[in-house]
């Protein structure tokens, strides 16, 4: 029987990382980037927003109230332009055409994107307040423009209404919301440089 | 144009509207509807424990292009048994039908995502990678969305089909989730997030200038 030599150096065994260690490494790498951390927080806030937004209570009270406000404001602008519309709850109508401000057309989701992004982005309270102020005014005006132009499309180019409603204004709204956000972030960077 | 944000927006809008025109006038919507129907059939032709889903082209209403027809094996067996008891040779079953606009349900966010990727200043390698990985995420979302709406429909008509969830609490939870997931804007948000995740860290606003290395003919050491 061979005797084990006590002076033989022990072999170095490099243990391969376990699944948990590998996952921890992936997470560490993911979390090391600011954009990933911000996106995760954003996803969390937007999930919370949708969970609250979809509740029947919020839909019946807050969402319905916002839709009615938009219908009134849109109706007012259309009447200024001589379209002679009447407004009932969230419906803007005339003998020629009518539209209803429903989910997706009330601009709440666009506003939520903007609010959540500003909430998670590293900036001072004053900078966030300024961004919120300008952003909300911009998005509300943009949504009013959407309602008015959609009504006008329905009157003058009825065959284009669906394309305008689904494929153009939805994309314009989300793209311009992102632009508003990037402009705000850019203004923060410029402030830093000027300091 | 100096402002890169406005420049990028205009580039994105240019690409998006060009693709939109191609899709609208080049038969892209029909192609997407065919793809959507084939994928829905692939995953959900047989649904859960005996559910059967038929997915057809729909032409009755201009706004919709696809019709889902839901039946189940249990429903058919029940109808056959009832007919036999009554001595009838034939019987009828009542399916649940619902129409869908596939472009609104999924096509739009694929086009939006493609335009975002094409308008982003990243290398073509990163673009292709983002398109594949992001496209897969959006595809998985589309399939999950169809699955959830079918699960909800089967559950609502649980008595008729004999599948889906029975409990009111679960039914309300699925309905709640379906109300969120079926909002078209959510697909656009997902496309935006996917784009931010895959493209943003890799944006090259100022490509690195090529550095030429010239060999020194004679080294002068001072």
* Consecutive H or E run containing B2: none
Contact A179 B5 (CB under 8 A): yes
Kindly report the nearest CA distance between residue B169 and chain A, in angstroms.
Answer: 14
Query: Which of A33, A109, A182 lies closest to B185 in CB terms?
Result: A109
Per-residue pLDDT of chain A (195 residues; tens, 9 = 90+): 445 555 555 556 666 778 888 888 888 888 888 888 888 999 999 999 999 999 999 999 999 999 999 999 999 999 999 999 999 999 999 988 999 998 778 889 999 999 999 999 999 999 999 999 999 999 999 999 999 999 999 999 999 998 999 899 999 999 999 999 999 998 988 777 766
Size of interface A-B (CB pairs under 8 A): 71
- Residue A12 has a pLDDT of 62
- Residue A105 has a pLDDT of 81
Nearest CA in chain A to B183: A104
- Residue B92 has a pLDDT of 86
Mutate which: A39, A170, A188, vs B, most B CBs within 10 A: A170
Contact A174 B183 (CB under 8 A): no
Contact B183 A42 (CB under 8 A): no
Kindly report the nearest CA distance between residue A86 and chain B, in angstroms.
Answer: 26
- Residue B219 has a pLDDT of 43
Find all residues with CB under 8 Å of B91, minimum gap 6, and list them.
B79, B80, B82, B83
Kindly report the nearest CA distance between residue B104 and chain A, in angstroms.
Answer: 7
Task: Find the DSSP H helices in B60-104.
Answer: 73-86, 102
Contact A166 B180 (CB under 8 A): no
Task: Report chain A's C-alpha Rg in angstroms.
Answer: 27
B27: alpha, beta or left? (left if phi > 0; alpha if psi -120 to 50) = left
Spell out which residues of chain B touch residue A53, defining contact as CB-CB under 8 Å.
180
Nearest C-alpha neighbor of A54 from the set B172, B106, B177, B184: B177
* Consecutive H or E run containing A91: strand A91-93
The CA angle B12-B14-B16, to the nearest 5 degrees, is 65
Query: Which of A55, A170, A182 lies closest to B188 in CB terms?
Result: A170
Distance CA B172, CA B163 (A): 16
- Residue A156 has a pLDDT of 95
Kindly report the nearest CA distance between residue B24 and chain A, in angstroms.
Answer: 9
Contact A179 B185 (CB under 8 A): no
Spell out which residues of chain A touch residue B9, defining contact as CB-CB under 8 Å.
175-176, 179
- Residue B209 has a pLDDT of 47
Kindly report the nearest CA distance between residue B90 and chain A, in angstroms.
Answer: 44
- Residue B204 has a pLDDT of 57
Distance CA B53, CA B50 (A): 10
Distance CA A154, CA A175 (A): 23
3-state secondary structure of B55: strand
Tell me which long-range contacts A69-73 makes (C-beta under 8 A, separation of at least 24): A70/A101, A70/A105, A70/A106, A70/A107, A70/A143, A70/A144, A70/A147, A71/A101, A71/A147, A73/A144, A73/A147
Per-residue pLDDT of chain B (222 residues; tens, 9 = 90+): 568 888 899 999 999 999 999 998 898 999 999 999 999 999 999 998 899 999 999 988 878 999 999 999 999 998 998 888 888 888 888 999 999 999 999 999 999 999 999 999 889 999 999 999 999 999 999 999 999 999 999 999 998 998 989 899 999 999 999 999 998 889 999 999 999 988 877 665 554 444 444 444 444 443
Contact B192 A35 (CB under 8 A): no
The DSSP code for A59 is I
The answer to whether ipTM exceeds 0.85 is no
Distance CA A113, CA A135 (A): 11
Structure tokens of A173?
């709204």
In terms of residues, how long is chain B?
222
Number of H helices, E strands in chain A: 8, 3
Find all residues with CB under 8 Å of A190, minimum gap 6, and list them.
none
Structure tokens of B89?
């040779």
Quick one: CA torsion of B127, B131, B137, B142, rounded to 10 degrees? 150
């Amino acid at each position: 029987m061979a005797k084990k030599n006590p002076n033989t150096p022990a072999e170095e065994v490099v243990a391969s990382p376990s699944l948990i260690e590998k996952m921890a490494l992936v997470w560490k790498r993911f979390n090391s980037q600011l954009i990933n951390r911000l996106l995760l927080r954003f996803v969390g806030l937007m999930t919370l927003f949708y969970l609250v937004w979809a509740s029947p209570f919020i839909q019946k009270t807050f969402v319905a109230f916002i839709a009615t406000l938009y219908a009134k404001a849109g109706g007012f602008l259309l009447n200024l332009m001589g379209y002679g519309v009447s407004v009932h709850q969230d419906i803007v109508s005339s003998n020629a055409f009518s539209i209803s401000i429903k989910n997706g057309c009330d601009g709440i989701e666009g506003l939520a994107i903007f609010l959540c992004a500003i909430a998670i982005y590293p900036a001072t309270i004053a900078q966030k307040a300024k961004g919120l102020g300008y952003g909300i005014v911009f998005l509300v005006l943009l949504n009013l423009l959407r309602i008015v132009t959609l009504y006008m499309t329905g009157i003058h180019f009825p065959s284009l209404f669906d394309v305008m409603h689904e494929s153009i204004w939805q994309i314009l709204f989300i793209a311009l919301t992102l632009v508003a956000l990037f402009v705000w972030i850019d203004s923060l960077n410029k402030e830093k440089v000027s300091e | 144009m100096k402002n890169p944000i406005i420049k990028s927006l205009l580039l994105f809008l240019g690409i998006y509207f060009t693709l939109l025109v191609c899709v609208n006038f080049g038969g892209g919507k029909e192609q997407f509807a065919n793809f959507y129907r084939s994928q829905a059939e692939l995953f959900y032709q047989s649904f859960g424990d005996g559910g059967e889903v038929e997915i057809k082209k729909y032409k009755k209403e201009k706004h919709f292009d696809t019709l889902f027809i839901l039946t189940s094996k249990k429903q058919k067996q029940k109808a056959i048994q009832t007919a036999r008891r009554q001595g009838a040779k034939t019987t009828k079953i009542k399916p649940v039908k619902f129409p869908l606009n596939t472009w609104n349900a999924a096509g739009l966010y694929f086009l939006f995502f493609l335009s975002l990727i094409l308008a982003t200043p990243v290398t073509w390698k990163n673009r292709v990678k983002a398109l594949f990985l992001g496209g897969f995420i959006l595809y998985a979302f589309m399939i999950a969305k169809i699955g959830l709406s079918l699960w909800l429909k089967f559950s609502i008509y649980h008595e008729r089909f004999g599948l889906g969830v029975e409990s009111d609490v679960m039914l309300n939870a699925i309905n709640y989730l379906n109300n969120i997931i079926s909002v078209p804007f959510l697909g656009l948000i997902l496309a935006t997030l996917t784009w931010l995740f895959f493209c943003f860290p890799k944006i090259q606003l100022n490509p690195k200038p090529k550095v030429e290395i010239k060999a020194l003919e004679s080294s002068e050491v001072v």
